[in-house]
Each structure stands twice: as structure tokens, then as C-alpha cells.
């Protein structure tokens, strides 16, 4: 009868180079820490100023915020743009 080889739940092939996490298995548990895009202050500033200019948002506007804050549109378009120009924000 052939001997049964013990199988590790995490393969050595699943290791990511230069990762603080030891394996792909662990990365799935911490996916929120390693996925997404890192934005600089400059990125945010230019995006918000471009949107405000395109939409002609002024400090006299009142913005009703109905978008989720965990989404890019909820953060950039509905939260940061009104705050950037000093508009009133209703949540």
C-alpha cells in the first residue's frame, strides 16, 4: 500500500514575493490590506478640483449625500467636493 503524503493547506508556491504575509491563504484573510489603489494628497486634490470645476460647484450649493462612504463616488464626489468649495452637505 502506498504511503499517504501529508498535504499542507498552503503550498510553498502560493507565497508572494516581498509580502508581509506568509502565504496566499493568509493574504485572502487580509485582502483589504493589500488590494486597492494608494492615492496621494496631490491625486485627491487634483481630482476634487477638476470635478468641482466641471460641475461648477460653489459655496452656495447644497449637496444631498446619498452615496455609500465605502465607495469612491461617495467619498470623492459627494463628500470631498462640497467640503473643498465650502458647500453645505446634507447627509
Distance between CA atoms of 72 and 80, rounded to whole angstroms?
A: 10
Distance between CA atoms of 84 and 40, rounded to whole angstroms?
A: 16
82 burial type by CB count under 10 A (0-12 exposed, 13-18 middle, 19+ buried): buried
Looking at per-residue confidence, does 5 or 78 come out higher? 78
> Which pTM was predicted?
0.58
Distance between CA atoms of 28 and 24, rounded to whole angstroms?
A: 6
Confidence of residue 31 (pLDDT cuts 50, 70, 90): low
Nearest to 90 by CA among 78, 81, 80: 78
Q: Is 27 helix (H, G, I), strand (E, B) or coil?
A: helix
**pLDDT number for residue 18:** 57
Q: 71-88: per-residue pLDDT in tens?
A: 888 999 999 999 999 999
Amino acid at each position: 500500500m502506498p504511503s499517504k503524503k501529508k498535504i499542507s493547506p498552503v503550498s510553498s508556491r502560493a507565497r508572494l514575493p516581498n509580502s508581509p504575509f506568509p502565504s496566499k491563504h493568509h493574504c485572502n484573510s487580509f485582502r483589504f490590506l493589500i488590494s486597492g489603489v494608494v492615492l496621494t494628497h496631490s491625486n485627491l486634490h487634483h481630482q476634487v478640483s477638476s470635478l468641482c470645476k466641471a460641475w461648477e460647484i460653489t459655496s452656495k450649493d447644497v449637496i444631498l449625500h446619498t452615496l455609500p462612504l465605502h465607495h469612491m463616488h461617495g467619498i470623492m464626489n459627494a463628500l470631498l467636493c462640497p467640503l473643498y468649495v465650502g458647500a453645505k452637505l446634507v447627509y
